[in-house]
Amino acid sequence: MRAFVLTGPGAYEVREVPAPQAVPGEVVVEVERAGVCGTDVEFFTGEMAYLHQGHSSYPMRLGHEWAGTVAEIGDGVDPGWLGRRVMGDTMLGDRTCRRCCRGRQHVCEQRQEVGIRDGRPGALAERIAVPAWSLHALPDPVDAVLGALVEPGGNALRAARATEAGPGDRVLVMGPGTIGLLVAMFLRAAGAEVHLLGTTASSLDFARGLGFERAWAEVPDLPFDAVVDAANAEHLPALALDRVEPGGRIVYIGIAGRPSRIDTRALVLKDVTAVGILSASPGLADTIAAYAEGGVDPRPLVAATVGLDEVGAVLAGGYPGPKVQVDPRARAG
């Protein structure tokens, strides 16, 4: 099968590689859509921390936001999965440790991460093999485009819920990228008054085009009941703490390239709750339900759909955002 293989910082090939086999307990999925995200770009540039911590290495196959159809099943897998449209969890815990047994398999010390950590190739290929237990079935209203947006949506849903915001609450979302816009969509669906903070006119115009008229280049002088940091600038965590109301909540889902600092004295004296969000795992099922019901429709976030031969240009910044998806079955020309 064809697969996009990252061979080093800025180096890549579309190769013919052996197709995965359905080993016991696993399935092989024919990939219909895979999303490209900021984590993939960090692997492309060589900045991703996992490369320097020994969790990941080149050559590697990216792709952790995906949807497709189950084409093969291994021994011990329910035959009902065959032919079903699915997406899958990125975080694959060992299912035996204390964290996994407490429902926190996404922070398992021994976890695999599809398309991110060594040992579990990703979905920028025609087929992908994953454990059957990691699958989530997609109902008819959730097509392949939406299916590949479930993983980022699960992260965003968890962040939105962590604000505990609803009608009458005002929330500032810092960073109008894919995650920030998805957070804003879920907050709007919950009835909150949503404000977005960005740095470029194009990103703010895009947010306004989605109906978020309160999109700012500078933080307005307003009281915010919650602030979500969905960006990657090291100064924003402190700004979030500065601008949240006493007794409010801060949600950190963005990760800066360098260490960020907050003054915990302000955290205590303002009686603020700070929450960190890693992984979509606990939010996948509810995200699928939200998409199926139509309460949140993230399709407008997808600016382009390309084939495997164009992924390198996407990673190098050659396509507009906020989201580009890949159809591995498409051929150049």
Full pLDDT tens readout for the chain, 333 residues: 999 999 999 999 999 999 999 999 999 999 999 999 999 999 999 999 899 999 999 999 999 999 999 999 999 999 999 999 999 999 999 999 999 999 999 999 999 999 999 999 999 999 999 999 999 999 999 999 999 999 999 999 999 999 999 999 999 999 999 999 999 999 999 999 999 999 999 999 999 999 999 999 999 999 999 999 999 999 999 999 999 999 999 999 998 878 999 999 999 999 999 999 999 999 999 999 999 999 999 999 999 999 999 999 999 998 878 999 999 999 865
Query: Does domain 155-276 correspond to CATH entry 3.40.50.720?
Result: yes
- Pairing mode, strands 11-16 and 323-326: unpaired
Using alpha carbons only, what angle is made at residue 293 by residues 159 and 107, rounded to the nearest 5 degrees? 30
Is pTM, for the whole model, over 0.75?
Answer: yes
Q: Return all residues near 145 (Cβ < 8 A) that are at least 6 apart.
A: 33, 67, 299, 302, 305, 325
Residue 224, beta-bridge partner list:
244
- Pairing mode, strands 26-36 and 127-131: antiparallel
Rg (CA), the chain: 20
- Euclidean distance between CA atoms 59 and 153, whole angstroms: 28
Using alpha carbons only, what angle is made at residue 242 by residues 239 and 243, rounded to the nearest 5 degrees? 90
CATH of 2-149+298-326, one of 3.20.20.120, 3.30.565.40, 3.90.180.10, 3.30.450.40: 3.90.180.10
Contact 325, 148 (CB under 8 A): yes
- Euclidean distance between CA atoms 94 and 185, whole angstroms: 33
Q: Return all residues near 295 (Cβ < 8 A) that are at least 6 apart.
A: 189
- Euclidean distance between CA atoms 127 and 182, whole angstroms: 27
State the residue for tokens 């093999």.
129
Domain ranges of the chain: 2-149+298-326, 155-276
